[in-house]
Amino acid sequence: MPGRPKSLDPDFIDADTFVGSKRQDSGGERQLVVVGTRSAKAHTLPGSGNLKIGRHKANDIKIDESSISRFHAVLHLTGSTITIEDLGSANGTRVGGSVVKPGKPAAVGLGETFHLGEVAVLIQSIDRSRK
């Protein structure tokens, strides 16, 4: 939103809210929180499906950061199971400090921080009861 401070933008997530405690997925609504070098943003996730992530506009989730490849990774959502698959990106994908090999999806826990290039990413539950 032009002219509005980022702190008032509903899509802006302050890095202080980026909590990385692993929790069981309750099956409720979830969001992907992306914390880059220039901004942070939350994306509401569907209950299931495959979401392409990268810099190119054809991706389901576009991340405009130099360490992100045009077609970087795919997030696989199957009920409460979440995996991330690297697509042969230049700067890699890491889960729990381990490199995710292209074509070999790695499990990601709810609340677990993972990295796409130099971008920190977290999947968390959405608490609609808070106002």
For the full predicted model, state whether its pTM sits above 0.95.
no
- Collapse the DSSP code of 23 into the 3-class scheme (helix H, G, I; strand E, B; otherwise coil) and give the result: strand
User: What would the 3-class secondary structure string for 37-99 be?
Assistant: CCCEEEEEECCEEEEEEECCCCCCEECCCCCCCCCCEEEEEECCEEEEEECCCCCCEEECCEE
Distance CA(32)–CA(12), nearest Å, equals 12
Tell me what percent of the residues of the chain surpass a pLDDT of 70: 77
Of 20-24, 83-87, 123-127, the poorest mean pLDDT is in 20-24
Average confidence score pLDDT of the chain: 84
**17 φ, ψ (degrees, to nearest 5):** -90, 0
Q: How many CB atoms lie within 10 A of CB 116?
A: 28
Distance CA(61)–CA(43), nearest Å, equals 8
User: At residue 86, does pLDDT exceed 70?
Assistant: yes
pLDDT value of position 3: 43
